[in-house]
Amino acid sequence: PRHERLIFRKRDKRLDGSLIRAQDTYSAFIGEVDADIYLAALTTAPFLSSASIDHGVEQVLSGAYDSAFSAQKLQTFAWYKGEPLNYSPERIPRTQDMEPVYIETSGFFAFKRELWTTHQRRIGFRPYLQLVDQVEAIDIDTKEDYEFAQRVMIARR
How far apart CA 120 and CA 25 sit, in angstroms, is: 12
User: Which amino acid belongs to residue 115?
Assistant: L
How far apart CA 54 and CA 96 sit, in angstroms, is: 30
How far apart CA 109 and CA 115 sit, in angstroms, is: 12
User: Which amino acid belongs to residue 12?
Assistant: D
How far apart CA 74 and CA 44 sit, in angstroms, is: 20
More confident residue, 21 or 57: 57
pLDDT value of position 99? 92
| CB-side neighbour CA atoms (13 Å) of 109 | 17
Arithmetic mean of pLDDT, 40-45: 93
Is residue 70 over pLDDT 90? yes
pLDDT tens readout for residues 86-123: 999 999 999 999 999 999 999 999 999 999 999 999 99
Is residue 134 over pLDDT 90? yes
pLDDT value of position 17? 81
How far apart CA 97 and CA 79 sit, in angstroms, is: 17
pLDDT value of position 2? 60
Domains and CATH numbers, the chain: 13-73+103-156 (3.90.550.10)
pLDDT value of position 8? 79
Arithmetic mean of pLDDT, 133-149: 96
pLDDT value of position 3? 61
pLDDT value of position 122? 96
pLDDT tens readout for residues 2-17: 666 777 788 888 888 8
